[in-house]
Amino acid sequence: MGKQKLDAAFSAVKNNGDKAFVPYIMAGDGGVDALKEQILFLQESGATAVELGIPFSDPVADGPVIQEAGLRALANGTTLSGILQSLDEWKESRTIPIVLMTYFNLIFAYGIEKFAKRCEEVGVDGLIIPDLPLEEEELVTPVFTDQKIALIRLVSPTSPKSRIERIAKKTEGFLYAVTVKGTTGARTQYEEGLSAYLQELQAFSAAPVLAGFGVSSPEQVKELGASCDGVIVGSKIVELLAAGKREQIKELIAASKLNKATVDYIS
């Protein structure tokens, strides 16, 4: 399914009058055996898609909460092959799209063509590769296109407008709008001009625009969602999942449901 599954999920959210909500979790934090239960919990709680982080020893885009989760996952013996095998074993139980967030080194070491084929086999729908710049993505795009896997691009508020526009026009699945100047992690406030930045991205991108980095409260989910198509929540989800605070995760997801009937269903 790949790109089609992502497109259908975002269309369904928009048609319902809601905003998209994509939680990030670290694969193997709690053990790979916990992955099925974690993703199915997010699916049942109303998430639009799941961004699944692959633990890596040098995660340049990640803040301390996600770095620590990655170290816990690596200490548990988590590997890329093991994660893909887990996803394969219970793919028939999943309806929610899966987006892998991984660094290019892991894909290169696995083998680009082998990795793309395996992603298609196990039901991965999209990929986020934060350290693969636009100028070098031809290393992977032909192979991912063949397997119908969406390559989701990131844009930063520090990039020149011309570059932002190029990235926005090429993205697949959705456009990942980084909202802060820095790594992932909870913030209490955003910089002035963020709303205008997100609205401008919507004018450039035919794909949904989702705001990520620093989203940590239901109020922020609503605030950012008012200026784009939805949000990505990472560090806060990782933190709450590790602490067993599932009800707070449900509250974050429910904040994206502007349609009252949907909120009642989730609660």
CATH of the domain at 154: 3.20.20.70
| Residue 186: pLDDT band with limits 50, 70, 90 | very low
Q: What is the pLDDT of residues 54-75, one digit of tens each?
A: 999 877 767 889 999 999 999 9
DSSP secondary structure string for all residues of 98-166: EEEE--HHHHHHH-HHHHHHHHHHHT--EEE-TT--GGGGGGTHHHHHHTT-EEE-EE-TTS-HHHHHH
pLDDT at 252: 97
Which helix (H) or strand (E) segment is 176 a member of?
strand 175-178
Share of the chain above pLDDT 70, in %: 92
Q: Is 62 a catalytic residue?
A: yes
* pTM for this prediction: 0.92
Q: Which of 7, 29, 62, 172 is catalytic?
A: 62
Q: Which of 7, 29, 51, 172 is catalytic?
A: 51
| pLDDT beyond 60 at 251 | yes
Could you give the number of structural domains in the chain? 1
Q: Residue 217, Cβ neighbours under 10 Å: how many?
A: 17
Q: 50-88 burial, b for 16+ CB within 10 Å, e for fewer?
A: bbbbbbbeebebbbebbbbbbebbbebebbbebbbebbe
